[in-house]
Amino acid sequence: MTTAVATPSDLTQCSAEQLIGLYRSAQVSPVEVTQAVLARIERLNPLLNAFCLVAGEAALQSARRSEARWQAQRHGGAPVGLLEGVPTSIKDLILTQGWPTLRGSRTVDPMQAWEVDAPVTARLREAGAVLLGKTNTPEFGCKGETNSPASGITRNPWNTAKTPGGSSGGTAAAVAAGLGPLGVGTDGAGSVRIPAAFCGNFGLKPSFGRVPAYPLSPFGSVAHLGPHTMSVRDAALMMNVMKRADARDWTALPPDTSDYLAGLEEGIRGLRIAFSPTLGYAKNVDPEVCAAVARAVKELQALGAQVEEVDPGIEDPLDISTGLWFVASAMVWNTLNQAQQAVSDPDFRAQALLGQAYSVLNVHQLNQRRGVLGSQMRQFMQGFDLLVTPAVAVPAFDVRPAGQVAMLPESMLGWTPFSYPFNLTQQPAATIPCGLTRAGLPIGLQFVGPMFGDAMVLRAARAYEVLQPILRPQI
């Protein structure tokens, strides 16, 4: 399968920044772009199953309003929004006014009133984004694959026999396939970074609380919201919108009015980077992943970074992550009636039953250990500007139906040992493609920043992207 760098010759392959430039110069209109994207969705979504809801007429109406605002601005009218007219998708865990948010589940009634926008949805609307629809997720975002019994199996645009990962698999597949340049995902144990790595796009998990959330995830303070894009600059632009304040999230960080595009091109010369190829405990990292990440680290050194190969000195927190996850699954499970439980995803059901075995003491012990881990990582990061690791230990594996593999901590997350620690510590982390396997599947490089170091993570990823532009699948 061949690849090509995105060019403006195909509107569906343009970045958000490119589209905004084309709108500003009146070379194309938001309506033309939205029509092109919707036509591509119509052609490819039956193959990929990235979207569970496509709101074509609503998107076109939004695009027409954006076109009018661009025309008014060119004649001295009010400034347009930062994302004016850019097609954008929303993961089906995130409330969107007027559309069902089914959370990948047959237990949610689609006929109820849907009157609320989540903070990120509201900010995107205010910025003029053209919302296309909702992207697929496994039930309640419960796993690193996207194979919901309610909305089916989502497939990877690089190879449709492979999984796009999860739980933001629909978002990643859509963005990589040119079904809108921007997408919103969520990340509770890697759910932005796993599918971004598998699908070859850029995915950022911001510092916890940087992007306000409402309602808060039932999986607690490991759950972040972040952008999926095909360029780092698009992610920075998107974050400038997503991080705006919303009083509904009582866990949100203080408002950040900085511009994440400012300083993005400053490079990494002189930055202190810790390179940990295994985090000290990952035993089954694919050799092609190891080789690609090692090459990328050498390229970071060539860009002037001071790289030291060193492990952060932590133990594998797999049992902390899955233990807290299983307990939260049990909490959600207990809100369902028997009829709803009977139609639940077997993987979610298995997680919930495992969670019921934990006592209150067990949960407190897990949280105590989480605190120790967070303190260790904050101390370790005092000596470095960034930590670099593989994003996921393996390339994308074959798609499989829900319930095919026994639900154990190792089968749930053991193959992605580099993602879940940084949900527990709440640090910002991003993945960017750093090569392809011999079979033509993307490999991800992960940048982890100190807490609140979101801009630094974006800056480093951008420096690498300039050297190795992100490729797109030919689909």
411 as an active site residue: the answer is no
Q: Where are the beta strands (DSSP E) in 136-201?
A: 147-148, 152-153, 182-187
**Distance (Å, rounded) from C-alpha 316 to C-alpha 417?**
8
Q: Which of 15, 66, 168, 191 is catalytic?
A: 191
Beta bridge partners of 99: 96
Q: Which of 29, 62, 91, 162 is catalytic?
A: 91
Q: Is 97 exposed, middle or buried (0-12, 13-18, 19+ CB in 10 A)?
A: middle
Distance of CA 474 to the CA centre of its chain: 21
What is the dihedral angle through the alpha carbons of 415, 332, 220, 396, rounded to the nearest 10 degrees? Answer: 20
**Distance (Å, rounded) from C-alpha 189 to C-alpha 90?**
19
DSSP tag of 117: -
Spell out the SS3 assignment of 4-43: EECCCCCHHHCCHHHHHHHHHCCCCCHHHHHHHHHHHHHH
What is the dihedral angle through the alpha carbons of 328, 330, 334, 340, rounded to the nearest 10 degrees? Answer: 100
Which three-class secondary structure state does DSSP give residue 160? coil
Contacts 24+ apart (CB under 8 A), 16-21: 16/83, 16/86, 16/181, 16/182, 16/229, 16/231, 16/234, 16/237, 16/238, 17/231, 17/233, 17/234, 17/237, 19/85, 19/86, 19/181, 20/83, 20/84, 20/85, 20/86
DSSP tag of 136: -
Distance of CA 355 to the CA centre of its chain: 26
Phi-psi region of 267 (alpha: psi -120 to 50; beta: other; left: phi over 0): left
191 as an active site residue: the answer is yes
Spell out the SS3 assignment of 416-469: CCCCCHHHHCCCCEEEEEEEECCCCCEEEEEEECCCCCHHHHHHHHHHHHHHCC
Both structure tokens of 442: 């993307």
Going by C-alpha positions, the residue among 144, 97, 140 that lies closest to residue 116 is: 97
151 as an active site residue: the answer is no
Q: Which of 151, 167, 207, 344 is catalytic?
A: 167
Largest CA distance in the chain: 65
What sign does the CA torsion over 230, 232, 234, 236 have?
positive
Which three-class secondary structure state does DSSP give residue 280? coil
Q: Which amino acid is at 174?
A: A
Going by C-alpha positions, the residue among 449, 468, 469 that lies closest to residue 458 is: 449
Residues classed as catalytic: 91, 167, 191
